[in-house]
Chain A
Amino acid sequence: MSDPGRGVSLEEQIDQWRSYLRRRQAIHSVDVAELEDHLREQVAVLVDAGLATDEAFLVAVKRMGDLDALSREFAREHSDRLWKQLVVVPSDSGDPRARARTDAIVAFCLAVAAAVVIKVPALFGIQLDQDAGFYARNLSLFVLPLLTGYFVWKRRLDTSTLRWLAVAFVAAAVFANVYPFAPGGYTEALTALHLPIALWLVVGIAYAGGRWSQVGGRMDFIRFSGELFIYYVLIALGGGVLTAFMAMTFQSIGIDVEPFFESWLLPCGAVGAVVVASWLVEAKQSVIENMAPVLTRLFTPLFAALLVTFLLTLVFTGRGVDIERDMLIVFDLLLVLVLGLLLYSVSARDPGAPPGAFDVMQVVLVVSALLADAVALWAISARISELGFTPNRVAALGMNVILLVNLAWSAVLYVRFLRGGGPFTRLERWQTDYLPVYAVWAAIVVLVFPPVFGFV
C-alpha cells in the first residue's frame, strides 16, 4: 500500500482520523467536514513552517484536543443528538450488557405485573363485559403507574419527586372512582378520555428524570411519546396477526378461542405491550430519527394540499359548514394531527439549519388548518346557544381553543423564523412549554366537568 520508508500518507492518516471521529454520535458528518478543513489548514501551515507531513499531522491532531473531551462538548451543545445515547443516567454501573439485561428483566416483570393488575378487579367480581365503565375510567391507572415505576427505577428519582408522582396517581384513582357517574354517560366517557392525557404528564416527569425543567428534557419526552406510539402500533399489528392465526388454527380442531381472547389475551396484552414498547424505545432509540422525518415529510404536503383544496372549495362553492354533532370533534382531531406533524418535524429538525421549502410547506399547513378551524368555530358559535352546552361540546370546544392558541402562536413564530427574525429554538421552547397546558385542561375535564354537569 504505502511506502514503508515514508510511513502512512497524509490522506490515509486523515482518513483514519475522520473515521475515528465519525464514530462519535454527537459529532455529525458536517461537523467532521468542518473539523477536517481546520486540520488540513493547520497541517499546511505547519508544513510551510518546515515540519514533515507526519509531524505536522501529529501536532495538528494534538492541537485539536482530546477527542473524548471534544465529543463531550459537542454533545453538550447538540443535546438532541444524544437522544440515541441518552446521558440522563450516568453510565457508571459497570458492564453495559449486564445493565441491558437487568433492564430487560425489570421491564418484563413490570409488563407481567400490568397484565396481572388488569385482571385483579375480576377477582372482586368486576367483569370486563359487565363493568365496561369501570375499566374505561381506570384503564390508564392499570398501566401508567407501572410505566412510571420503570422510569423511577431507571432514572433513580429522588423520594420527594416520587412522593408527588404517587400523590398524582392516588388522586386520579380517587376522582375516577368516587364520582357517582351515570352509567354510560357523557362525563364518564370524558373522564375515560382525559385521565390518560393528564397522567401522561406524570409519566413525562418521571421519564425526564430531573430534566423536566429543561427544554431538552421535555423535547426528549415528546420524541419518546412519538416513538412509543410507533412501536405500540407495530406490536398491536403483530398481535393482531398472532390472534388471527390462533383463532384459525384452533377453529380447525373445533375450539373457539374468542372467550380467552376477549377476557385474557386482549386486555393483558394491551397493557403489557405499553411497558414492553417503552422498554424497546429505551433500548433502541433510533426509530423516530428515521420514521418521524419520513412520515412528516410525506404527509405534511398531502395534508396541506387537502386543507388548501378544502378552503378553496368552501370559498368558491359558498357552502356552509354543516353543524353535525361530531363536527367539532372532527376539527379537534384535524388540529391534533396538524400539531403532531408540526411537533415531530420540529423535534427532528436541526435547529441550526436555515429555512427551506419544507418550512414554508409547514407554515401553509398550519395556517390552512387554522383557517379551516376558524370557519368551523364561527359556524358553531352562531348556533351554540341553540344547540346547548353539553359536556361533550364544552370539552371539544375547550380542546379546540387550546390547540388553536398553540398553532396560532406557532405560526407566528414560524413566520418570524422564515423571515429571519428569530432562531428556530423559540418554536421548540414554545412547544415544550405548552405541554403542561394539555394536562391541566385534561385534569379540569376530569375533576370539574362531572360535578358541574351533574354526572350525566
Chain B
Amino acid sequence: MATELRVVGTPARKVDAAKLVTGYGTFTDDFFLPGMLHAKILTSPHAHARITRIDTSRAADHPGVHAAISHHDVARIPYTSAGQSWPEPSPYDQYILDSKVRFVGDYVAVVAAETPEAAEDALGLIDVEYEVLPPVLDMHDSMRPGAPVIHDEPESHGMYDAERNVAAHIEVEVGAVADGVTEADTVVSEDYFVQYQQHTCLEPHVTIAWLDEDGRLVLRTSTQIPYHCRRMVAFALDIPVRDVHVIKPRVGGGFGNKQEVVTEPLAAVLAIKTRRPVKLEYTRRDEFTIARMRHPQHLTMTVGARRDGSITATHMKVLTNTGPYGTHALTVTGNTGSKPLPLYRSPNIRFEADIVYTNLPISGAFRGYGAPQGFFALESAIDEMALALGSDPLEFRRANHIRKGDTDPVSAALAEGSAKKPRVMRSNGLPECLERGSEAIGWTAKRRGGMPLRPNEGPLVRGLGMCCLMQGSGVAGDELAAASIKMNEDASFTLMLGSADIGTGSDTTLAQIAAEVLGVPLEKILVRSGDTDHVTFDYGAYASSTAYITGQSVLKAAEDARRQIVSVAGQMLQEDAEALLVADERVSSSSGKTVTLQEIVMECLYGEEKTLISGRGTHATKESPPPFVAMFVEVEVDIEMGTIRPIHLVTAIDIGKALNPAICEGQVEGAVTQSLGYALTEEIVLSPEGRVLNPTFMDYKILCAADMPKLTTILVEDPEPTGPFGAKSVAEVAINGPAPAIANAVHDAVGIRLRHLPMTPDKVLEALGRL
C-alpha cells in the first residue's frame, strides 16, 4: 500500500451528492407503484383508556376503501419497536393494534384507500367506545402506590416491575460513594431537569409495502436499521424472515427516530390484507405527537472533592420518563450514566436509575442516546465544583480528566453488550482539544467570573463557558458488520454494504477506505447499500458505529480483493506478489515492471486461469473507543429580556482520524445545532390531559440560519489503534455539549445557575429575580 494517503483524509464530494442536489427520485416517497393505496391512522383522543367496542365495518364499506382494521384483525404478539440487536434489551410491551390505548395519539385503527382523502374520510366512520382510565401524567407519580398500572396486560414481558410502572431499573457502584462523600472537603449536589425533544427529521416516517411476484413482503422504508427491521417485522407478523425484503433508499434524516420500527408493521399488515401496494406516511403533526422523543429526565448529581482538587465521589441518580412504551428504556438511560461518568477520574462512582412508564408521548432513541442528559448534569456540577474550590474550570478539568492508558471503570459495570471488561483508553486527544479550543475562544482573556454588574454596564452581558465530552464508537461487544467488494470489467469496483447511510455520508467515507486500499480514485467505487436482498448483514446506523465498525469490514474486504489482484499481477509480471505495490490503478514492482488494473481484470475474466476478484470482510469487536470533545461557548445574556444569545461556539474534537474532513465537520456542526435548540428553545408543550399543543415548526422552535452563532470546528487526530486508518466515531459526541457549556457561560456572565432545560427567558428572569 502507498504510505501516503490519496483518498482517505480528503474532503471528497459525497457519492450521492449529485442526485440529492438535482432532486431526482431517491427517497422512499419519490416512488410510485400502480394501484398504490394510502393508509391513514385513527389515533386515541385519550391518554389512557380501554377500547370496549370498535366497529370498522362502515369505514370498510366507504367508496375507495380496501381495508379498515382494528385490534380484532391482527394477531396479538407483543414486540418492541426498538431497533436493537437480538434479543432486544427493551420490553416487549407493544402490539401492532391493541384493545388498550396508553397515550394521546396511540394507534386505534388503520384504513387503506385509493386516495388519501377517502382514507381520511373513512376514519370518521369507525365507531369506537372507550372506557376512560385515570392516567399518569407526571413521571414523579408513576411509582406512587395506587398509581394506575399502564401495562396490566399479561402478555407483555421484559419490564422490570410492571405493577409499579417501572420499565427498567439500574444500580451500579464502583468503590463506595458514601465513603467518597465523607472524605470530600466540598460536596456539590443539585437537581437537573431535561425535557422532551423531537428529532424533526425533515423526511417523516414513511413506508411503502407490497408483495412481490413471489409473494414476499417488500418494505421500501425510511429506516436506520434495514436488517433489524426485517427481523422485527417478521417477528411481529409471525412470518419467516426470508419472506421480508427491506429496501432503504436515501433517508431524509434519522437521528435515532428511525432506529424504531413504527410505520413498517402497519403498512405490512395492510399490504398483505389488500394484496395492493400501501403507503403509510406520517404527517408533521404525527412526527410531533406519535413518533419518538428524547427521554425527559430528573437527574440528581453529586460530586465530592478534596481541597487539593481531587474528586472523591461521583454520584448520579436518574428518574426517566419512557412514556407508555419502554422502547430503548434501559439502554438510553444506561448511557446517561455510562457515557459521562468515566470522564473524570474518581475512585467512587455510583449510578442508579428508574425508567418509568407514563401516559405521555413515547420516548426513544435520539442522537446522543441518553448522554446529553447526563452531561448536562455532570458538566454543570463539575463547573460548580471547580468554582467552589477556587479553581479555573478549564484547569480543574485538565487536572481530573481521564488519561490515555486509563481504564474506564464504568463501562464494564454498565455494559449493555457482551463486553464486560474494562475499556482501556488507547487514544485520547482531549489535552490537545482543551489547548486549541480554549485558545480559539480566548478563554483567559474573556472570562467574566459572574461578577455583579457594574452600574455603567448595559443590559447585555457576555460570559464564557465550557465542557468536556466523550461518547463511544459502536456498542462495545454488540456490533457486527460485513462488506463485500467485486471487481468489474472496467476495473471499477462494486462495494456492497449492509450499513445504512441516513445522510451521514457513510457510503462516501466507506468508499474512500476501499478506494485507498485498492489504489483507485473514488469514482471507481460504486456503492450499493441498505437492501437486505442484495447486501451483507449489518446492525445498522446507530451508536456512532458505522465508520469504526463497518469501516473495518470494508478495510478487510478491500485488502482481501487487493491480495487477489496482487496474486494475479505477480503471475503476469513474473514477480513475487508480496513485494508488489498497488497504486494509481496499477500494480508495480520495485524493478519497474507494471500492469494496470484494467489488464489484470481482463486477464482474470478472459485469460488462461479464469478467476473472479471478490473480497469479503466481516468485523466485530468488544472495543468502543470514545471520541473526545472540549467545547467552549461565548454567550450574551440580556438581563432585561432574559434572552441568551450564543455568539461563538468552538468544538475541538478528537476523532482519531478524519476520514473525510468535510463530512466530519458537517456532523459536528449539525450535532451542535440540534443541541443549541435543546438548550435554548425546543420544548414539547403538553395540555393537562397529555395532548401535545405545539405539533408544528411554527410552535416548536428549531434554530434557523439567522439564529446561529459562529461555529468553529477543530478536528484533532490522535490515532486510535483499533480503528480503520486510526478513526473513531464523530456523529454523536458533540450533541452532548451545548446545554452545559451555555449554562456555565450564563453563570460566568451573570452569576446564575440554570438547571432546567430549555433555558428560556422566563427561567433566566426568574433566576435573576426580575420576574
Partners in one complex: no
